[in-house]
Amino acid sequence: MNKIKINSLSKNFFTLRRGKVNALKNINLEIEPGSFFVLLGPSGCGKSTLLNIIAGIEKPSFGEIYFNEKPVVSGDNKIFIPPKERDVAMVFQSYALYPHMTVFENIAFPLKISKLNKDEIKRKVYEASEILELKNLLEAKPKELSGGQRQRVALGRAIVRNPSVLLLDEPLSNLDAMLRINMRSELKSLQRKLNITTIYVTHDQTEALSLGDKIAVIKDGEVQQIGNPDQIYEDPRNLFIAKFLGSPPINIFEEQFFEYISNKTDITKNRTNFIAGIRPEQIKITEKDKGRFNAKIKMISSLGSEKLAYLSAVNTDFVAKVSPEAILDENIEIGISFLKENVFVFEKSSGKRID
Amino acid sequence: MNEERLKQIFLITGGIVLTAFCLLPFLWMIIISLGKNPDFLSGQTSFGFTFNNYTAIFTSSSVHLLDYLKNSLIVSTIAAILATIIASLSAYAITRLKFPGRILIPLLLLGFSMFPQISLLGYLFKMLSELGWINTYASLIFPYVTLALPLALWIMLSHFSRLSKELDNAALIDGAGRLKILSKIILPISLPGLFSAFILSFIFSFNEFLFALMFTIDYKARTIPVGIALFEGLYGQIPWGYIMAAAVIAVLPIIMVIALFQKYIMQGLTEGAIKG
Q: Does residue B104 fall inside a structural domain? A: yes
Residue B19 structural domain: 3-33
- B173·A98 Cβ contact <8 A: no
Chain A's closest residue to B163, CA to CA, is: A96
Q: Does residue B55 fall inside a structural domain? A: no
- B172·A56 Cβ contact <8 A: yes
Whether B273 shows a pLDDT value over 50: the answer reads: no
pLDDT of residue B174: 92
CATH of the domain at B108: 1.10.3720.10
In this prediction, residue A303 has a pLDDT band, given cuts at 50, 70 and 90, of confident
Q: Which residues of A touch B169 (CB under 8 A)?
A: 52, 55, 57, 90, 92, 96
pLDDT of residue B17: 96
Burial (CB count within 10 angstroms: exposed 0-12, middle 13-18, buried 19+), residue B88 = buried
Q: B202 with B71, same domain?
A: yes
Q: B66 with B172, same domain?
A: yes
Q: Which residues of B touch A150 (CB under 8 A)?
A: 272, 275
CA dist., res. B110 & res. B115, Å (int): 10
pLDDT of residue A18: 77
Of B167, B172, B273, the CB nearest to A83: B172
For chain A, give the mean pLDDT: 88
- CB distance from A148 to chain B under 8 Å? no
Are B86 and B149 in contact, with CB atoms under 8 Å apart? yes
Residues 153-172 of A with CB under 8 A from B: 157
Of A57, A94, A157, the CB nearest to B172: A57
By percentage, how much of chain B surpasses pLDDT 90? Answer: 52
Residue B210's contacts (CB-CB under 8 Å, 6 or more residues apart) are B117, B118, B121
Whether B270 shows a pLDDT value over 60: the answer reads: no
- A83·B173 Cβ contact <8 A: yes
In this prediction, residue A264 has a pLDDT band, given cuts at 50, 70 and 90, of low
Q: Does residue B94 fall inside a structural domain? A: yes
Q: B113 with B226, same domain?
A: yes
Q: B96 with B22, same domain?
A: no
Chain B's closest residue to A160, CA to CA, is: B174
Q: B23 with B65, same domain?
A: no
Of A88, A99, A113, the CB nearest to B269: A99
pLDDT in tens, A147-198: 889 988 999 999 998 899 999 998 888 888 888 888 888 889 989 988 999 9
Whether A325 shows a pLDDT value over 90: the answer reads: no
In this prediction, residue B268 has a pLDDT band, given cuts at 50, 70 and 90, of very low
ipTM: 0.82
Q: B84 with B126, same domain?
A: yes
Q: Does residue B212 fall inside a structural domain? A: yes
Of A57, A83, A95, the CB nearest to B274: A95
pLDDT in tens, B10-64: 999 999 999 999 999 999 999 989 988 777 777 777 778 888 889 888 888 788 8
CATH architecture assigned to A251-347:
Beta Barrel (2.40)
Chain B's closest residue to A165, CA to CA, is: B173
Superfamily of structural domain A4-244: P-loop containing nucleotide triphosphate hydrolases (3.40.50.300)
User: pTM of the full predicted structure?
Assistant: 0.81
Of A90, A98, A142, the CB nearest to B185: A98
Q: Does residue B42 fall inside a structural domain? A: no
CA dist., res. A92 & res. A102, Å (int): 18
Residues of chain A with CATH 3.40.50.300: 4-244
Q: B207 with B88, same domain?
A: yes
Backbone angles phi, psi at A36, to 5 degrees: -105, 105
Q: Does residue B112 fall inside a structural domain? A: yes
Q: B110 with B236, same domain?
A: yes
CA A64 to chain centre: 23
Are A90 and A26 in contact, with CB atoms under 8 Å apart? no
CA dist., res. A261 & res. A247, Å (int): 22
- B173·A56 Cβ contact <8 A: yes
Are A261 and A247 in contact, with CB atoms under 8 Å apart? no
Q: Does residue B54 fall inside a structural domain? A: no
Q: B253 with B155, same domain?
A: yes
> According to the per-residue pLDDT averaged within each range, which of A337-346, B19-28, B106-115 is highest?
B19-28
A332 against A227, higher pLDDT: A227
Q: Which residues of B touch A88 (CB under 8 A)?
A: 173
Q: Does residue B48 fall inside a structural domain? A: no
Number of structural domains found in chain B: 2
pLDDT of residue B267: 56
Say how many C-beta atoms besides its own lie within 10 A of residue B237's C-beta.
6
Q: B7 with B105, same domain?
A: no
